[in-house]
A = this chain, B = another copy of it.
Amino acid sequence: MVASPPARFSVPAVTQPRINEANRKSVGPLSMPPRLLLGPGPSNAHPAVLQALSLRQVGHLDPAFLAMMTEVQELLRYAWQTDNRITIPVSGTGSAAMEATIANVIEPGEVMLVGSMGYFGNRLEDMADRYRADVRTIKKPWGEVFSLEELRSALEEHRPKVMALVHAETSTGACQPLEGVGDLCREYNCLLIADTVTSLGGVPLFVDEWGIDLAYSCSQKGLSCPPGASPFTMSDRAFEKLSQRPGKVPNWYLDMSLVGKYWGAERTYHHTAPINMNYAIREALRLIAEEGLENRWQRHQANAELLWEGLEDLGLVLHVQKQYRLPTLTTVRVPAGVDAKAVTSQLLNDYNIEIGNGLGELGGKVWRIGLMGFNSRPENVILLLAALDRVLAAAGYRK
């Protein structure tokens, strides 16, 4: 309880409405079950990240904070393999960073091509529509990916100003190859947006080499950080388009011509940065630099292969063809006769393990298993396999 000053300063009761006490709930301190988060995200934060998160905060214009921002940007450039000047955490969750890519570069009436092969492709369409783009869509069955030839013919047909692809489709577990796509986009004078929400920090990803102009991600998957600050990067080419737009960006909070000045040399106040989330993301990125990308990617791949082998040993069928499988997120088909949601509930209730149900078209058809960042460890794989074996057996499933 905090103290008030001596009595001579206490003020007379204000003449004001009576305080409504109906919503004054008396609740105890927060207590949460110890979940192992092996779903599509969030995954568990690294303990060192949680520690950084809870440090006492400084101001958003404190010299100590400004110095830390520079470190965050450098470390994020390493994780993304880019030298883009504007490489920052957006002050929101992954969908805000997704929206930032579109809001900044699409002008009303411009053609935007979306490669949709899952739920998050659909979200890109929805967002682009809100920014009054002339949205064109190419689609793939959920779990498949586009070939370079398919992308070329779509670019030829639609001649978009911007094309958006999902590198790592969190709803299907498929990894869209991006080698060569940037070159193709340059040939057609079009910007390339990539959704790397489920790839950053876990899957080989080369923003500059692959010619990606705008990318976004989240903190709570491959980075092992809680959700709330979300990586965003933008090439000079993309910034050039932003600089030349005739009007203001139709979104104040995500306007990179303003946000970029706070994160740039000017350090001009735009909005109060989420201080502690930035502490956390710095620690998460520091751990990536310490481990090294090569080691990290190999670890994710190795643990995913351990999982895949184990799931097949249980007689289950993986939804995505091996060469396009994400090591961070595996979709496995629900066997005939098994109630998908009953299995995820039992894993949660009996063993405190969260895996994801299918989303959208794959609802009820697959489970989604994430092995991301700190959670990509063999002990988590064998625990999940053991738990799944028991829960499936209890549900009457026989290999």
A residues near B (Cβ < 8 Å) are 1-6, 9-11, 13-14, 16-17, 19-27, 29-30, 32-35, 37, 39, 41-42, 44-45, 48, 50-60, 62-65, 68, 71, 74-75, 77-78, 81, 83, 91-96, 99, 123, 126-127, 129-132, 204, 206, 208-209, 218, 220, 226-229, 248-253, 269-277, 279, 282-283, 286, 289-294, 297-299, 301-303, 305-306, 309, 348, 354, 359, 374, 376-379, 381
A-B contact pairs, 15 of them (CB 8 A): A2-B291, A4-B302, A10-B298, A11-B301, A16-B204, A25-B75, A32-B279, A33-B58, A33-B64, A53-B53, A96-B96, A99-B252, A129-B248, A130-B252, A277-B277
In the complex this chain forms, how many copies of it are found? 2
Which residue on B lies nearest to A283, using beta carbons?
B30
A254 to chain B, nearest CB (A): 8
Extra contacts, 10 of them, besides A2-B376, A35-B56 (Cβ < 8 A), are A4-B299, A9-B305, A23-B78, A32-B57, A32-B279, A37-B59, A41-B272, A63-B348, A228-B275, A250-B250
Q: Tell whether A276 pairs with B62 under 8 Å between CB atoms, given A19-B293, A19-B294, A27-B75.
A: no
What's the dominant secondary structure at chain A's contact region?
loop
B297 touches A14 (CB 8 A): yes
- In angstroms, Cα B9 to Cα A376, docked, is 14
B contact residues around A3 at 8 Å (CB): 377-379
- In angstroms, Cα B55 to Cα A45, docked, is 10
Which residue on B lies nearest to A127, using beta carbons?
B252
**Which of B21, B53, B305 contacts A54 (CB under 8 A)?**
B53
B contact residues around A229 at 8 Å (CB): 228
- Shortest 7 CB-CB contacts between residues of A and residues of B: A228-B274, A54-B54, A23-B78, A95-B271, A5-B378, A226-B276, A23-B77
B contact residues around A279 at 8 Å (CB): 30, 32
**Which of B30, B63, B74 contacts A25 (CB under 8 A)?**
B74
Q: Tell whether A81 pairs with B20 under 8 Å between CB atoms, given A50-B54, A271-B94.
A: yes
- In angstroms, Cα B11 to Cα A306, docked, is 11
